[in-house]
Structure 1
Amino acid sequence: MSESLLRLTYFARHSVRLFLPLLAAAVLVAEPGGSSTDEVVSKYRQALAAQQYAQRDIAADVTFEAHIPKLKKQGRLNALRQISNVGKVTYKILGFSGDDTVKKEVIARYMSAEVDSASKRSEEVGITPANYSFKYKGLNNKDGRQLHVLELKPKAKRVGLFKGELWLEADSYLPVREQGRFVKSPSLFIKKVEFTRDYEIRDGIAYLVHMQSKTDTRIVGVAELNANYTNYHNLRDSVAERVEEARRELND
């Protein structure tokens, strides 16, 4: 083999070795589906900001169904969920059937936790770059819809933050599903909490329509909770209905 050919072979071999790490890095940096993580997260944040005030002064009917398999106890609660013009969440209980233990230890605790979470600043628990690291997993077809899927990892171990996934509608970038496991227990009596929240997009607004959770407790074992949200309407309409109801009671 000539000296020039030996030099060429040597150069080619070592050039490949030099470029292999660069090629690997390029593969790692490339995002599936042609979108970047930063781009998807930015459009998601813009979509949330656009609907922020549409999620105020509204009310919805909620049906909670809870079950403690180990104790063979269950319960069902109907309530009116209200969100004020400043984002404060309140519940008005309309009826309950079942075991009081389920009502107090599962349903009431969830409602209390939601009220407390809503009172916190969004900077503390919001799905933001300050609280989470994001990884774009691609554009997937789920239930006949094109959805962006983001993997979420919290940057701090704080109550209210979770490790899991965020699904966004491909066109609007509004949330369709949040699912995962909270990284810090809100109580010494709770070992872990897994959850799924589903949203329905109507007129450019993402409404929470279903929530399910599984809580592993240290005392009674697993507690399961399902909530369905229906009949979203203006909060002022709810106030008017209560006034009219009170008038009817006075006239009876």
Structure 2
Amino acid sequence: MTGRRRRFPVLAALLLLAPVQDEPAAAAAQAPAPAAEEIVSRLMAANRERDARLAGYRVERRYHLKNELYSKNGEMQVEVAFEAPARISFAVRAQQGSGLLNKRVFGRMMEGEQESLRPENKRRSAMTPENYDFRLAGEERVEGRRAYRLEITPRREDTFLFAGTIWVDAADFAVVRAEGRPAKRPSFWTRKIDFVRTFKKVGPFWLPHRTESVTEVFLFGTSWATIENSDYRVRLQPA
């Protein structure tokens, strides 16, 4: 599944998308869709509010990997602890299957998540006009809620960016779903990565819920990875 020093930066960067901005859902359901520029502006404002309000969280995470060519599986149960603005730690609670897969793949996913919190990398991965072109492609219902569907095109080849689609909640202006592929392959050996990530509302926050990815790597074949988050315990900054 993995090439040397490959750390899935775009998947790690997506874990940072947890904007906060509550608005009356009924009003959002009736209002006409704003322009893409306004949606992005309000999304950015919600991200800034998130940074100001979020003190930290703990979450139970399950990593699972299946490799087609070698018929091997790996699984790891981890408790993740995040402390704002940029500290994250991982405590492995249990693991099974291929120890090699667990170490090389899951371990490097965790390293990538740590790297994505560095200020420069947060700027490189942010949902901003500096990093992406946005086009409003319509509206859909996501988990029963109205959402704007935006097609996004990265402005440069960068492993922290991706090409694809995001869905922005019409009431909270939060990313609730993202899918696509990295703007730049993380290694020569990686032929393709496709992913889908969904977010779940936890109090006033939208936090990563589930990520599914399919990766094709030279000599390793196709691998399917799943990351599931559950039991969030969120702390807010003091009022």
TM range (shorter): 0.7 to 0.9
Show structure 1 runs of 5+ residues with no match. 1-32, 236-252
| Structure 1 position 184 matched with structure 2 position 184 | yes
Residue type of the alignment partner of 2:175: P
In structure 2, the partner of 1:217 is 217
| Structure 1 position 172 matched with structure 2 position 178 | no
Quote the offset at 1:55 in angstroms.
3.9
**Where does 1:92-241 land on structure 2 (aligned, <5 Å)?**
92-121=91-120, 122-234=122-234
Q: Deviations over 1:181-222 (max 9, x none)?
A: 001122222222211111112322111111111111112111
1:77 and 1:222 map into 2 onto residues whose CA distance is: 20
Q: Deviations over 1:78-123 (max 9, x none)?
A: 0011212222222111110101232123222222222222225221
In structure 1, the partner of 2:81 is 82
- Greater helix share, structure number: 1
1:223 and 1:98 map into 2 onto residues whose CA distance is: 14
- Greater strand share, structure number: 2
**Where does 1:14-53 land on structure 2 (aligned, <5 Å)?**
34-53=33-52
Q: Deviations over 1:33-85 (max 9, x none)?
A: 54211111111111222122444421111011111011100011000112122
Residue type of the alignment partner of 1:205: F
2:37 and 2:125 map into 1 onto residues whose CA distance is: 19
Does the Cα contact within 8 Å between 2:192 and 2:215 map onto a contact in 1? yes
Does the Cα contact within 8 Å between 1:67 and 1:102 map onto a contact in 2? no
Does the Cα contact within 8 Å between 1:107 and 1:225 map onto a contact in 2? no
What secondary structure sits across from 2:117 in the alignment? helix
Residues 165, 55 of structure 1: alpha-carbon distance in 2 compared, 3 angstrom cutoff: farther
1:113 and 1:136 map into 2 onto residues whose CA distance is: 30
Quote the offset at 1:146 in angstroms.
1.1
What is the percentage of aligned positions where both structures have the same residue? 21
Instruction: Provide the TM-score with structure 2 as the length reference.
Output: 0.79
Structure 1 moving runs of 4+ over 4 Å = none
What secondary structure sits across from 1:147 in the alignment? strand
Return the structure number with greater relative CO, CA threshold 8 A, min gap 6.
Answer: 2
Task: State the structure with more CA Rg.
Answer: 1
Over aligned residue pairs, what C-alpha RMSD do you find? 1.8
What secondary structure sits across from 1:106 in the alignment? helix
1:203 and 1:184 map into 2 onto residues whose CA distance is: 34
2:89 and 2:143 map into 1 onto residues whose CA distance is: 33
What secondary structure sits across from 1:57 in the alignment? strand
In structure 2, the partner of 1:16 is none
2:107 and 2:92 map into 1 onto residues whose CA distance is: 10
Count of aligned pairs: 204
Residues 196, 44 of structure 1: alpha-carbon distance in 2 compared, 3 angstrom cutoff: same
Answer with 155-164 or 194-203: which moved more: 194-203
